[in-house]
A and B are shown apart, each in its own frame.
Chain A
Amino acid sequence: MTLLDALQIINQNRSRRRTDRSPSYRLALTCGFVPLHFKTFLTAEMVLLRPGTGVDIAEGLYGDLSGSLERLKPETCDAVVAVIEWSDLDARLGVRSTGGWHPGSLPDVVRTAHLQLQRIGRALKQLGSIPRIVVGPTLPLPPIFYGRPHRLSSSESDLRAGLAQFHRDLLSDRVTVIAAQAVDMVSAFPNRLDLKSELAVGFPYTMSHADALARLVASEICGPVRKKGIITDLDDTLWRGILGEIGVHGVCWTLEKKAHIHALYQQVLNSLAGSGTLVAVASKNDPDLVAEALNRPDLLLSKEAVFPVEAHWGPKSQSVARILAAWNIAADAVVFVDDSTMELAEVQAAFPEMECLAFSRDDPEKAWDLLVGLRDRFGTSDLTREDSLRVESLRSRAAFEVGKESAANADAFLRDAQAEIVFATDKSRDPRPFELINKTNQFNLNGARLTEAEWAEVLANHGRFMVKATYNDRYGPLGEIAVLVGTIDDGRVSVHHWVMSCRAFSRRIEHRCLQYLFQRFEASDVLLHFKPTPRNGPIHEFLAALLGSEPSGDVHLPRSLFEKNCPVLYHSVREI
């Protein structure tokens, strides 16, 4: 993007929004330099990622990064970005200061930098209720050290050690730190500093660096929603070779067989599965051979991590459809990987919303890009208990469905399921409820999403309750699968957010949640702030069955009506 492009994007967005009264996204940009073109690029990149949304970027004071952070009030912005350069840690580490580069001053420079990092860290901690993103330093250190520039000096080492500890502390405080390697990937180190501009106007970045860094920061602020599942092909994708031709022990993924890229792919899939990504197989193959091959002890992808496995000779799109049904998630949350362009095209035609990616078995560079791209699509900052339970609970769900079909009737089946629901009302800093609210589509009361700031308000506000439900039955645990957030006024419970994982359907958990609300709060009436969305059909149907009529907006549910229409509930209930 050129500066002219960026300005035109901003101006067009401003024109479009002249009549739009929706609130703009408010970003606080703190840096020690004049933000100038970086601010322009950042605004334009955010506009591109949030079409139709206004973006207001407020900047701090020149030369006072930590002071700007300390003065910032979290209620005035939706997120804060701190761009740190060496000169913010000690002016002598910049080029606009003449504070002295005498060797005798180096210990003091290092000490000052460490103190300044602590000050910045404290200020960021105070802003804990809003998303905080930190990047930098991105520019080269000046020739301040007395050794030759290519040799690491003890002073530089101390400086970098302090920075590493600062970043580590930020991560503990849930601040997002943009990795130096990510900046290196998009902006060549020698092309970052514009010394002429820095000396003339106090803006230290070349245009290319400002553009690249802005794109990186913008993608962190308003990046894509994390994908949920990956469906992989087997032959010449998960392993090298055609299983049906060379057999279970003929397919390979080793260095010796020049097939190591498949081993790396297996490792990435195994890691993704371990961090909560669903992994399934869609392969045109003999199912018995596939089962045997997936059982090979040297496979780097755990067979327990894969569910389901669709191996047959029918079209891949049929396999994908069955996998989506087993996972009960939408196609746009899934990535399909195959080495065959024909298979990719067939699946893409059947599922236009799905991302279909090619595995290049003979081009390691392209395969590497795929592996990095998968991390980008499935990356998560928190590992929750539900992440490790996800595949297990899907298997439980499949077993549950099989059991349901073979039972005499639904009631007999549910009675024998030995289900237990645990309700908790604590507002601990458990990331799961926030994650559930922001990713659940089908059983979602109104589709409303929450920012981190709004979530912090929910947790801090004593007038708001939160109910979390954890489920387990004889088929296995589902983990924490439902969250309700609301308020109580004069005996009436108002529910503003209610989401339940699609894995938990058909168990009457939603009925038990409502019953719990009536009993826990001794309510005579529950007001559900329902709003139909294109995807919340399941909760719509549930409410219609309870009410005996189609809901279209807020639902007033008297306790008497709920009790009249609620089916028999067989779960045991525990409260913690």
Chain B
Amino acid sequence: MTKRTTNPDFLNGVPELVVLDLLSRRPMYGYELVQAIQDESGGGLAFGEGCIYPLLHKLEARGDLASRRMEVGGRSRVVYRVTPKGAKQFAQSAAQWSAVVAAIGQILQGGKHERPHARSA
């Protein structure tokens, strides 16, 4: 049986954060965004290519993104950009993410220091 390669559960909410971050830098269309995620994460984050659109539509319905059909490279594309509401949401999510990463990092680091001490006690 082949093992399904999915992102771990603790990455819930990360796709939204990543999409908002990349689109806050410049407006992009779906394919471009998938490429940007792969490039920026060095291939570390695996996004199902077809999964990006439901996510973009969800963020758009929530008012975090706005879309416009534009001519890009001789083809008509739906280009997404971050709205002011999305920018605010991104700032909040990024701050929360940094706090969580710092806290988890501290615990993991502390755990490494504590273990030998606990064993010797």
Whether A associates with B in a native complex is no
